[in-house]
Structure 1
Amino acid sequence: MKWLFYVIVFIYMFYRAVYGLKQSNSLYVEPVTYEEDLKYLPAGTRKTIACKVLNKNQKVEWLNHQGEVVKHENTNRVFSQTKYLLSAGRSVTEQVLTFTHAVVNDSGVYTCRTDRTSQEVELCVIDASDFVDTPKEVIVSQGRSFTLSCEARGQPEPRIIWYRNGEDIKDDGDESSKYRLMVKYNRQGFESLLTITSLEANDHGIYTCTAIQENSELSDCSLSKSWNISLIVNHAPVFVDSDDIQLVYVKDNQSVDLICSASAYPRPTYRWFHYEDDHTLFEYPQKQINFLNDTNEAKLSIVANKFNYDKKFLCRVTNELGDSLKSFIILRTQRPDRPSEVNLIQSSDAELVFNITWFDIHFPIDGIEAQYMVVSGRGSRRKSPRETEWKRGELSELVRSGDDEDYTYSLKDLDEDTEYWIRVRAKNEVGNSPWSSPITASTTITGTTLLIVTMEAVTENENVIDEATNDDDEADDDDEEDEKLVGNFDGVFYGIFFVGGIFVLGFICIFAMKMV
């Protein structure tokens, strides 16, 4: 019987080692979920979190975010309750943590534990910000300063960030700063003040007040809410492109739209005219004008021909604060002229930057092309390449580096420390201009950049190079003359030596004959 006892003990120990271990690791805490698309529990709502254990004999308890055991007193706002369930033929112990009325201070990490194991879960409770006494639209006159107020109430206490048309607004602390930010507290909550100094027409737009609530202990427990304030500045009409005169290039019988767009408040009226002569204006009827984008733009459509080339069209925009005039001149599109100057202004190891100018620009420019080739041979500096030689050159589109009024272009992807012949031309839809006069320009060694002010320096360098070349040529001529003199001297020397040898040989022969 003794062996039977040992078998029973072995089976029992095996059962405790295997099944008992499984029971000890069978702790399961339901994940915390929130309603709708929220990532937090709104303050004041009810919430339960269940912790299940597959062993009714184990002690299960909840610890709050401060490490204290949650009591089983259902009269408390937060309490724990034990339930026994039967699942798949097994007895399950369920410990339920209940928040009858959650508050922001309930946010934190809660722990469900047994004698053998434990598991944590995070709870995020936020009292979402509410914007109080914050306007949606403000109308202010131009020239004065104005303060926008944004007051947010909520827990955790929000911090406020301001944006204008989607861009962050910052106060750099300078007295001349456009924006000044200030924070104050009152009984209702947290208030942020944004002062805009010396309001101008371009200060109008959407100003966004964003309240951000964060929990210092839980990185994922945060909320951001925004409130938009539309700031409208009363001002006389100001044209969007700020140009008083716009040149419009067209081809024969081409339909062209003249668009007049101005910013103004109150809303302006648009009128279109053209000059019959220097003193007479013809006004177009309103039915010929198309208003776009809620009347912020007025379009006049015409067909270009010889009767309206060089004619001036006038757009007049008016509101109760003033009016503005903008002129449009119709010009026939022509092929670009040859560039008058091409100046190298910067050089690096793989790029050359040029400034290109014309005596008079009366044509549109859609792009600039460059043709270039490597300078080779000593004599190639004296004369620019012939037209047949240019056919071997590389053709490349220049990249614009300056603004619309600065014709600065870059030639990229060049070899370092290399000298090039370069010429450029402009192009548009009509055709290409003639090529400019060729110039030479050199890239630098890697890591070096040269700034060149004008083309005069390049010309002077070329003159110096030419003079140096001429000096070298003159030196070569002198060397050739010296070589000729040396050659003549050597000929005379060898002639005298030859004659002397014959004389000595003859003398020896006569002496030998006498001896015999």
Structure 2
Amino acid sequence: MKWAAAVFVVSLFSLGSAQSGDGVPSLEVMARSSVYNVGENKVIYCKGLNLPERIEWYAPNRDIVGERSTVNSRIFSERLKNDTLASSLVLLFIRSFKIEDSGNWTCKAGELFETIEIIVGEKVSLSSAQETFEGEETKSARFDCAAKGYPPPVFQWYKDNAPIVADNKKFFLRKKEDNYQLEIRNLSHQDTGEYTCKVTQKALSHYAHKRVNLNVQHKPLLYDEFDNTRTISYSRYRTEEVYAIINAPKNITCRAVGYPEPKFEWFRRTNGHDDPITDEEMIAHAQDGSSSTLMLRMYDEEALGEYKCLASNEKGKVYVIYHVQKGNKPDMPDHLSVVSVTKYSITFNVSCSTCNMELEEDKSEDPQNLTILGYTFQLVPFQKGFLADWNASEEFNVDIENYTLPQTLFVIEPLRNGTAYHVRVCTRNSAGCSDFVELDSTPKTALAGKLFISFMLMLATTLLLMLI
């Protein structure tokens, strides 16, 4: 009923606006070639003026589309009761599109005709949009991406958003009917990640995807971390020299990655015997399970010696032996000044003329004259009438990158704009920090509001000059 009412209103409007004009025959399909989805409904109008013959609709198989009947209940044509050759409007009804309806549909009257192309597509749907797969080292993993649709979709597999290219060594891509399968051989920890199958039907402007989270079970692997980059070590164990300052705390961090998540244990080694360290206040484990820190209290030289970190899971274990020995406490910085400030940073000039700033290649360090690695800054917001609470300070570690030409300028950021700070700095080597040197002033970062006002005044002045 809704279709009939809509068609009736549009038809009255179309016929009422039609004029015989100068008597020249014309024919127009009032629709464009389009793409439709399976199950959609559509009414297409064909309008003619001063026609030599009555209008007929032709299906892609060149059969005339008949009027509505018990046989033609899904696809049929319909002309208005007052239809004439001088002014005619014939409607084509297609209910519940099927893929076989695709093709050229023609409106024809005598020698006059106009054709539109209809493409009927079926959007693909994936049975599962998210999966988790547990793999094992040296074995294979296969991921299915089955999607049936029309026009045939385009498939692409990605790992962590990078396209996967079949190399017939590590990655294999196979098409089995409507399934695009990805196989990964000889699994390792490096294959852990998110794999995505992206399915695209450009003609339908349709896109779908399936994600597979792969976890590869493997024994723990030791790693080092620098600038948020992990360097993996494939050895079962290793030894490290650690320097400590007497009467100063010393933290030793042991890093290992594995799946299942490794368990960390610490031991004190005496004459080749490992004694478990059970004091929970001395050990801190990272929340993500990738590291553990031993916090030594270096009250005297009895704390020196060997310590062992063991990381294990059901797939294996690795360990590190730390040789903790006495190192020198570095000299304090002998110069500290402010060079410049911005909204969110302060630049300092720091130097230590009595410190060992040069690292000799191919030579072990002298524990009593360790090379300076950099400086540690501590900043506390200034509050009038209150002393600096250094326990609540924000700490910034900066490293000296060039040992031949010592770097003395360091930018501390990000900081709060428009804020004055108490500042203190210590020199840092591999054993620990020197005593702190406190800046005798409280530098203040620039106020964002003032900078904005200055910019607006400058902009306003420029506009006034343009108007003069």
Tell me how far 1:57 sits from its aligned partner.
Answer: 7.3
| Deviation by residue 1:127-160 (Cα, 9 ceiling, x = unmatched) | 524449x993443432234444444444444454
Partner of 1:178: 170
1:242 to 232, 235, 241: 232
Q: Which whole-Å CA distance do the structure 1 matches of 2:96 and 2:372 have between them? A: 72
Alignment CA distance shift 1:338-1:363 (3 Å): closer
Alignment CA distance shift 1:255-1:124 (3 Å): farther
Superposed, 1:114-129 pairs within 5 Å as: 118=114, 120=116, 122-129=118-125
1:29 to 31, 35, 38: 31
Partner of 2:309: 315
| Deviation by residue 1:174-213 (Cα, 9 ceiling, x = unmatched) | xxx222333334xxxx33443333222332333333444x
Partner of 2:289: 296
Q: Which whole-Å CA distance do the structure 2 matches of 1:288 and 1:68 have between them? A: 88
| Deviation by residue 1:46-90 (Cα, 9 ceiling, x = unmatched) | 41133264969795555556777644355347624335499xxxx
Partner of 1:206: 194
Which has the greater radius of gyration?
1
2:265 to 245, 268, 271: 271
Q: Unpaired runs of 5+ in structure 1? A: 1-14, 33-39, 341-356, 368-399, 401-406, 410-422, 434-516
* Structure 1 residue 49 corresponds to structure 2 residue 43: yes
How many residue pairs match? The answer is 322
Tell me how far 1:170 sits from its aligned partner.
Answer: 1.9
> Greater relative contact order: 1 or 2 (C-alpha under 8 angstroms, separation 6 or more)?
2
Farther-moved stretch of structure 1 (162-171 vs 47-56): 47-56
How high is the TM-score relative to the length of structure 1?
0.46
Q: Which whole-Å CA distance do the structure 2 matches of 1:56 and 1:46 have between them? A: 33
Partner of 1:325: 319
Alignment CA distance shift 1:108-1:337 (3 Å): farther
Q: Do the aligned residues in 2 keep the contact of 1:237 with 1:319 (CA within 8 Å)?
A: yes
Tell me how far 1:366 sits from its aligned partner.
Answer: 6.7
SS in 1 for 2:190: helix
Q: Which whole-Å CA distance do the structure 2 matches of 1:110 and 1:327 have between them? A: 80
Partner of 1:283: 277
> What is the one-letter code of the residue matched to 1:29?
A
Tell me how far 1:288 sits from its aligned partner.
Answer: 6.3
Tell me how far 1:326 sits from its aligned partner.
Answer: 3.9
Partner of 2:163: 168
Partner of 1:142: 137
Q: Unpaired runs of 5+ in structure 2? A: 1-18, 224-230, 331-354, 376-400, 411-424, 430-468
1:195 to 176, 183, 187: 183
2:77 to 81, 86, 89: 81
Partner of 2:203: 220
SS in 2 for 1:260: strand
Alignment CA distance shift 1:27-1:154 (3 Å): closer
Q: Which whole-Å CA distance do the structure 2 matches of 1:210 and 1:222 have between them? A: 13
Partner of 1:260: 255
1:231 to 196, 214, 217: 214
Alignment CA distance shift 1:79-1:205 (3 Å): same
Tell me how far 1:126 sits from its aligned partner.
Answer: 1.3
Q: Which whole-Å CA distance do the structure 1 matches of 2:59 and 2:172 have between them? A: 44
SS in 2 for 1:220: helix
> What is the one-letter code of the residue matched to 1:197?
R
Q: Which whole-Å CA distance do the structure 2 matches of 1:105 and 1:259 have between them? A: 65
Q: Do the aligned residues in 2 keep the contact of 1:238 with 1:264 (CA within 8 Å)?
A: no
| Deviation by residue 1:353-398 (Cα, 9 ceiling, x = unmatched) | xxxx57456657579xxxxxxxxxxxxxxxxxxxxxxxxxxxxxxx
> What is the one-letter code of the residue matched to 1:161?
Q
Q: Identity of paired residues, percent?
A: 16
Greater helix content: 1
| Deviation by residue 1:467-500 (Cα, 9 ceiling, x = unmatched) | xxxxxxxxxxxxxxxxxxxxxxxxxxxxxxxxxx
Alignment CA distance shift 1:285-1:152 (3 Å): farther
SS in 2 for 1:29: coil
Q: Do the aligned residues in 2 keep the contact of 1:85 with 1:94 (CA within 8 Å)?
A: no
Superposed, 1:413-428 pairs within 5 Å as: 424-425=405-406
